[in-house]
Amino acid sequence: MIQDFLFQAFAASAILGAVIMVTRRNPVSAVIFLVGVFFATSGMFLMLDAHYIAAINVILYGGAIMVLFLFVLMLLNLGHADWRDLRGPVGGLVGGSISIAFLGVLTRLFVGGADARPVVEIAGGALREAAAEQGVVGVVARPLFQEYVIVLEVTGVLLLVAIVGTILLARGERT
């Protein structure tokens, strides 16, 4: 019961944080609220028996990536509010309508998707049992290094390319 309460609290704070994040004019406070959203979703991951994901979500997103954002803001000296940042009524109308359309479509999609039969029938609490058996890391790591090892390696190459590209781009025009 306390878990359900916590879950719903996390959900509410995630939505709330997201709304605040989108409406902040100051980029630094937007970053801070986004970190908050990430923490909240991490909490939800925990409640959904995805312990490992919850952990790397905090470390990778909430930690590394958002620090990167803050660092860039600092580097470019953009850490102050800019009144031009938010669009006017027309932009709001367009953005809002598209956003609401997305909400409708996604809701329909999720509900409709629930109609389909599960590809793999898993009994309730199966993930939790597997995690108890193999450990929270092992339950993710085993398929990752067995079935998806090639994908993993390719992702590694992608990251390498991203690193090279980033260095090249950020280095500037020096030859």
Partner 1 sequence: MSEAGLAGALGVNGLIALFVSAILFSIGVIGVLLRRNAIIVFMCVELMLNAANLSLVAFSRMHGIEGQIFVFFVMAVAAAEAAVGLAIIIAIFRHYEVVDLDRFRLLKW
Partner 2 sequence: MSLGAVTGSGSLVATALGGQEGAGAGFQPVLPWLILALPLLGAAVNGAGAFLWRDDKRIPTIVGPAALLGSFAVVLLNFIAMSGAEPHGAAVVGLWNWIVSGDLRIGVDLQFDPLSMLMCMIVTGVGSLIHVYSVGYMRDDPGYSRYFSYLNLFVFFMLVLVLGASFPLMFVGWEGVGLCSYLLIGFWYENREYANAGKKAFIMNRIGDAGFLVAMFLIFTAFGTLDFIPVFEAAEGTLAYGGALVTGITLLLFLGCTGKSAQIPLHTWLPDAMAGPTPVSALIHAATMVTAGVYLIARTSVLFALSPVSQGVVAAVGAGTALFAASIAIRQYDIKKVLAYSTISQLGYMFLAVGVGAFTAGVFHLMTHAFFKALLFLGAGAVIHAVHHAWAHGEDGHGDARHGDPNDMRNHGGLRKYMPRTFVFMWVATLAIAGVPPLAGFFSKDEIIWYSGVYGTPILWGVALATAVLTAVYMARLMVMTFHGRNRTFGHGGVAEAGRRLHEVPAVMWAPLALLAVLSVVGGWANIPEALPLLPTVEWLHHWLEPVFAPAIAVKEAHGFAPEYRAPAGGGEALWAGVSAAIAIAAVVGTVRALSPKPVPTEAESEAPTGFARVLHDKWYVDELYDRAIVRPSLALWRACWRIVDAGLIDGAVNGAGRAARLLGWAGGQLQTGRVTTYLVAFMLGALLVLGVLS
Residues between 77 and 96 that touch partner 2 (CB under 8 A): 94
Is residue 142 at the binding interface for partner 2, with CB under 8 A as the rule?
Answer: no
Q: What angle do CA 18, 20, 26 make, to 5 degrees?
A: 115
Considering the complex, state which of residue 27 and residue 43 has its C-beta at the smaller distance from partner 2: 27
Residue 84 interacts, among partner 1, partner 2, none and using kind-specific CB cut-offs from 5 to 8 Å, with: partner 1
- Minimum gap (Å) between residue 142 Cβ and partner 1: 8
Per-residue DSSP letter, 173? S
User: Are 31 and 70 in contact, with CB atoms under 8 Å apart?
Assistant: yes
Dist. CA 19–CA 99, nearest whole Å: 13
Q: Return the residue of 106, 151, 160, 163 that touches partner 2, per CB under 8 A.
A: 106
Tokens of 10: 């996390």
Query: Which of 146, 27, 127 shows the shortest CA–CA distance to 76?
Result: 27
Task: Calculate the alpha carbon distances from 87 to 16, 19, 120, 161 in Å.
Answer: 21, 16, 46, 35
Residues 6 or more apart from 17 whose CB is under 8 A from it? 33, 34, 36, 37, 40
Residue 29 interacts, among partner 1, partner 2, none and using kind-specific CB cut-offs from 5 to 8 Å, with: none
Per-residue DSSP letter, 57? I
Is residue 148 at the binding interface for partner 2, with CB under 8 A as the rule?
Answer: no
Considering the complex, state which of residue 8 and residue 97 has its C-beta at the smaller distance from partner 2: 97
Segment contacting partner 2 by CB under 8 A, of 17-25, 42-50, 105-113, 133-141 = 105-113
Residue 174 interacts, among partner 2, partner 1, none and using kind-specific CB cut-offs from 5 to 8 Å, with: none
Residue 149 interacts, among partner 2, partner 1, none and using kind-specific CB cut-offs from 5 to 8 Å, with: none
Q: Return the residue of 9, 60, 86, 98 that touches partner 2, per CB under 8 A.
A: 98
Q: Return the residue of 105, 152, 162, 163 that touches partner 2, per CB under 8 A.
A: 105
How many other C-beta atoms can be found within 10 angstroms of the C-beta atom of residue 107? 10
User: Are 25 and 82 in contact, with CB atoms under 8 Å apart?
Assistant: yes
- Which residues of this protein are in contact with partner 2, per CB under 8 A? 94, 98, 101-102, 105-106, 108-109, 112
